[in-house]
Structure 1
């Protein structure tokens, strides 16, 4: 089979399958070691992160040799097509080493102006959330289901998620808490799984800061395919990372953005 025989969606599924196979043998195993990538703070990486990204890069070398690759663990590869595959082999390594099933594999295809295809895959639960121009679907233990955001319009009815309670800087945390103070429920610590839940119609808002492109491009594609909205805190593109807000409806997005947009 050559690269011409596979659609981009086919390739994305191959990447997710390869990452699952590389990661699962290490999950919840005694003796798994995590290296710290930060001189200050804690940003862990494991053999599973690196093995998964290497497995995905090998598939792209075979089936999409002209495309670029931006991954978390290895150097960027510049392609000739103007397209870039954006990979986070384990988004939520802190959760991974803690044994929680809230981490995931993130795969996006950036055609030059942002992601046009995205996958959020949770290998342990067997859930896969896929979004693009012609697809918005999840698969898993309950079978295939279409993705679709909730119709929540008021902050007072919304469920809000973020990964870290401090969110980012002191000012970013204050802005987040201004939104949190108006919603029905706030939860923490879900990493990319929170974005998947938004696309699946379980929650209404995700607000984060300090992101990289590989943290957010797959969620953008999946949530937009499900009918939601993802921007930065000024209403612009979040595709290159930084601060991001994902919302189920325009009304929720506008209400939350009004409380976030003044942060410098």
Structure 2
């Protein structure tokens, strides 16, 4: 695991990330279950005024507090690309859940150093849950709800709980592998977006396998899952990269990884 750089501005980064999440929560909540209109983007994914307003608010906070850092967001692109530090934000991960009134969406805030995620934050505005992961440190879970940030022991695929956001995110080349994995696990559940990764970090889910993921979908999740004792890779077991194939795999127990990646490599019949 890559260590934090020796000059990492720990306090300033943590304060900026939590302040940005607080502002995003205050922006998003007034739109929840208020019938906001959703527009389709070029990739057919939905976006709302809540997404755009929250991203602007997050950018404003982060830029003010750490003006030398780069910024990449799902809705408004990249700023200060040359900086070794780069915030990566998704103001509402799970817009489909948001516009249908389900509290399984979340705000994602990540910080990368030389393209490696070093900090991740998931905030769920409705339930008031927040996960914070910092590379090399235990994940923190801030909530009035029960839960402890530690993945559970599960060495056998046959005993595992598998999760995926939706069948339609599984592109055709990868569907046979997912089906093979789903046939081997104890149970498969659908839905969750980033919230499912928070549940994996609390020991409620054992495996998450998804496709067509962008860097803003997964960057914040890596320090959270790994800080709780899990592993995150692509479907071949390699580290996630911005220019990767879009597959994302999370396992709560690292002993699952070889068998799960072998199943996901199942070719089409």
Same structural fold, with TM-score higher than 0.5 when normalized by the shorter chain: yes
In the aligned structure 1, how far is the partner of 2:207 from the partner of 2:182? 10
Displacement of 1:25 in angstroms is 0.5
Distance (Å, rounded) in 1 between the aligned partners of 2:51 and 2:227: 27
Offset at residue 5 of structure 1 (A): 9.9
Aligned positions, number: 257
- Residue 14 (structure 2) aligned to one of 9, 12, 24: 9
2:29 corresponding residue in structure 1 = 24
1:115–1:220 Cα contact (<8 Å) kept: yes
Which secondary structure state, in structure 2, belongs to the residue aligned with residue 66 of structure 1? coil
Which residue does the alignment assign to 2:108? 106
Q: What aligned pairs does 1:37-186 form with structure 2 within 5 A after superposition?
A: 37-38=41-42, 42-79=44-81, 81-132=83-134, 133-142=136-145, 146-186=148-188
RMSD (CA atoms): 1.8
Partner residue of 1:36 out of 29, 37, 40 = 40
> 2: CA distance between counterparts of 1:113 and 1:33?
34
Cα deviation, residue 135, structure 1: 4.1
Deviation at 1:79, TM superposition (A): 4.9
Alpha-carbon separation, structure 2, partners of 1:166 and 1:27:
24
Do the aligned residues in 1 keep the contact of 2:129 with 2:145 (CA within 8 Å)? no
- Is the alpha carbon distance of 1:13 and 1:258 closer, same or farther for their aligned partners in structure 2, counting shifts above 3 Å? same
Provide the secondary structure at the position in 2 that maps to 1:76.
strand
Normalising by structure 1, we get a TM-score of: 0.92
Contact between 1:66 and 1:80, CA under 8 Å: does it hold in 2? Answer: no
Rounded Cα–Cα distance in structure 1 between residues aligned with 2:234 and 2:10: 37
SS in 2 for 1:181: helix
Alpha-carbon distance between aligned partners in 1 of 2:185 and 2:231, rounded to the nearest angstrom: 18
One of 259, 265, 268 as aligned partner of 1:255: 259
Runs (5+) with no aligned partner, structure 2: 1-8
Distance 1:263 1:197 in 2: 30
In the alignment, is the contact (CA less than 8 A) between 2:108 and 2:216 conserved in 1? yes
- Runs of 5+ unmatched residues, structure 1: none
| C-alpha distance in 1 between matches for 2:258 and 2:241 | 19
Moved over 6 A (4+): none
Contact 1:19/1:55 (8 A) holds in 2: yes
**What's the TM-score once normalised by structure 2's chain length?**
0.90
- Name the SS for the 2:163 alignment partner: strand
Judged with a 3 Å threshold, the aligned counterparts in structure 2 of structure 1 residues 112 and 261 are, in CA distance, closer, same or farther, namely farther
Equivalent position SS for 1:210: coil
Alpha-carbon distance in structure 2 between the residues aligned to 1:160 and 1:88: 24
Is 2:24–2:55's contact at 8 Å kept on the other side of the alignment?
Answer: yes
Distance 1:29 1:157, change over 3 A: same
8 Å Cα contact 1:217-1:239 kept in structure 2: no
